Chain A
């Protein structure tokens, strides 16, 4: 329990004791980026592809355009998931190498 105001840690530090840790910080940053990407990519690709690519450029009927863009959105989600998996395993490998060098 800290009593003096000078040595009292900031609220951020009390909430996340290892927030300043380089490893944790990069993990959280990665997590935020990938989460935003995986939320936005399928929805944006579905509506933008339907509106501008299939209906605008190719002139497909609205129903078919929706089906095609739906399939592409699902495929894109899996591509992002694959990149996520790759990043997660790569991060672990890098850490292992650094530990070996020490």
Chain B
């Protein structure tokens, strides 16, 4: 009674992992993006009471959080295009690779969304009182958004290899 590794790798449930990867890429990035949008919206609302003409500047954290969601959408679509049925040659190795890609993009996006939310809340409130803080806020926002971009790049590499 030997364990046949090659048969085991061609498991019928391999696509499950691929689809879970695509789903988790979208779900977790949207969790992060939603938190980022809501948290920075609190700051925007309290600042918009005093300086409504600064709305163009203060909405930037919300845009950045939305871009995190777009990362998840892109990765989920790419992964979904690669998952096929197990009979069409989709083995467990591919399934695990796609699950890893989805989780990488999703959890990196979750972290980046959290960062954008907190930075956006504090930064927008600060910009209302000291406009020179704007450049600093944008830099911090870009750095926290790049964290999500790293996750998307790794996810695309994992998903296409």
A residues sitting closer than 8 Å to B (CB atoms) are 18, 21, 23-24, 27-28, 30-31, 34-35, 38-39, 42, 46, 62-63, 66-67, 70-71, 73-74, 77-78, 81, 84-85, 87-89, 91-92, 95
CB of B67 closer than 8 Å to a CB of A: yes
CB of B16 closer than 8 Å to a CB of A: no
Pairwise interchain contact A74-B152, C-beta atoms closer than 8 A: yes
Q: Say what secondary structure dominates the interface of chain A.
A: helix
CB of B82 closer than 8 Å to a CB of A: yes
Binding-face segment, B48-56, B88-96, B110-118: B48-56
B residues sitting closer than 8 Å to A (CB atoms) are 52-57, 59-60, 63-64, 66-67, 70-71, 74-75, 77-78, 81-82, 131, 134, 138, 149, 152, 156, 160
Report the bound CA distance from A35 to B62 in whole Å: 10
Q: Which residues of A contact B152 (CB under 8 A)?
A: 74
Pairwise interchain contact A84-B156, C-beta atoms closer than 8 A: no
Pairwise interchain contact B81-A63, C-beta atoms closer than 8 A: yes
Pairwise interchain contact A88-B74, C-beta atoms closer than 8 A: no
Contacts A27-B56, A74-B152, A84-B60 aside, 20 further interface pairs with beta carbons under 8 A come to: A18-B52, A23-B53, A30-B56, A31-B55, A42-B70, A42-B74, A46-B74, A63-B81, A66-B81, A70-B77, A70-B78, A71-B156, A74-B70, A77-B70, A78-B67, A81-B64, A88-B57, A88-B60, A89-B134, A95-B53
